[in-house]
Structure 1
Amino acid sequence: MEHTEHTTTAVRPSAPPAPSRAQRRARRTHRWRRDSVELAAVFVSVTAADLVAKVVVKGHDGPVLLAASALALLATALFHSWWAHRHHLHESPVPAPAPAPGATALWRVRATVRDSPAGLARVCTAFAEQQVAIVSMQSHPLPRGAVDEFYLRAPHALSGTDLAALVTTGGHDLLDAPTRVV
């Protein structure tokens, strides 16, 4: 027997072009502006904290102001908690809408193909009998056989288990459980 060796050459994607001088300058300018804004925000927050500390410590009403602020914050938190609880109890639960008749769901199914005549045709026939539409199909070749990846639009009544049964009765082996695409 004669053994033939096949060699393949890898095609390397071309590297993205280097940024122009104007693009590099724009990035530096943008970075400099962002850093300046962040630094200014730090200075403003430190100044505000210093002002509050001086009012509390050196002011003649400092401790009273601090206690009043704490009580106002506590009262606001209690009111918010009461309000959220009150309105949550009085709301009627909204049931999930039932799918409309004829509504469909999108599924992704990956399966290996047995190398047999009409294997794909059997799977397609099984899908068609259950009103399952093949939105997209891509085949990934392997050394022995192939992996088929299907995107299916199926009626809501069909579950992942039902789709798995359709695929396996059609002559494919599932790689993983069918996944519902949101």
Structure 2
Amino acid sequence: MKPTAHATSELSCEVCGQMPEPTKARLTLANIAVMLPIELLVHAAVVETHLPYLAKVLVLTLTATVLVIWVAEPSAARILRSWLHAPALRHRKKLGAAPALWRARTVLTDHPGSLQKVTHSLARLDANILSIHVHPVAGGVLDEFVLSAPGELREGELLRALRDGGGSEPQVWPTTALAMADGQTGALSLAARIAVNPEELPLAVAELLRARIEPAPDADTDPAETAPERDGTAGDGTPGDGTQGDGTVLRIPTAWHGPITFSRPGEPFTPAESARAHRLAELAEILSRRPAAPADPA
């Protein structure tokens, strides 16, 4: 009985604290079930008295009204709460059982069978892999999944399953069906957007990477000291992919904007994402240098 009461209490509004309005049919039946015994007892007690007829009517009316307001309705709402809100509880249960979409990342060793192990670990939770992208990284491969999992599954359980499957540094985020669009399709769509207007580069890259555009550095800062070169090397000539620090900051050099910095806290950029962003920057630069078409005299 306790789990049902707990589930019913969760139906209350987070703002006003009120429960959802039950159906009129259920509310009427609940009130009748509680009020009928009260009415019978009051009538039985008053009818046996020797009061005048008018006094009996007044006593019955007032007593029944007070008892209904103070006793019957609150008792019906409290005692029959689970039955009153049963339709809402069933609807909530269906929503809770509906599959949820998650994005997940983890680093695996680049050995045969490593992906199979993490797949079996996720399968034990009834989590289905809808898409997967593999990015080579230092020490192995970074596997990025889109998962469909039971609605009651929590983030901690998915993280535990990824670790049990041999993954390191696992991360998961709730997502939507938009995550099913592969990165290549998204990059091509944004490339078409840049082809129309190269000035859209910062917004297009931010959308592609789901990242935030950071403010431009101070004017007295030498861009060559901090920005990576276009060929994927850092400012000191060592190989790099344009990411800084822990990989959550990405700088893209441009000829007319200067270096554009993007950040995505808690979700490092992959080499593939960095490469796509740099190619979009190259496309925007090529298009910006193209001479404008002559105006049509007509």
Q: Shorter-chain-normalised TM-score: which range?
A: 0.3 to 0.5
Query: Structure 1-normalised TM-score?
Result: 0.45
TM-score (normalizing by structure 2) = 0.28
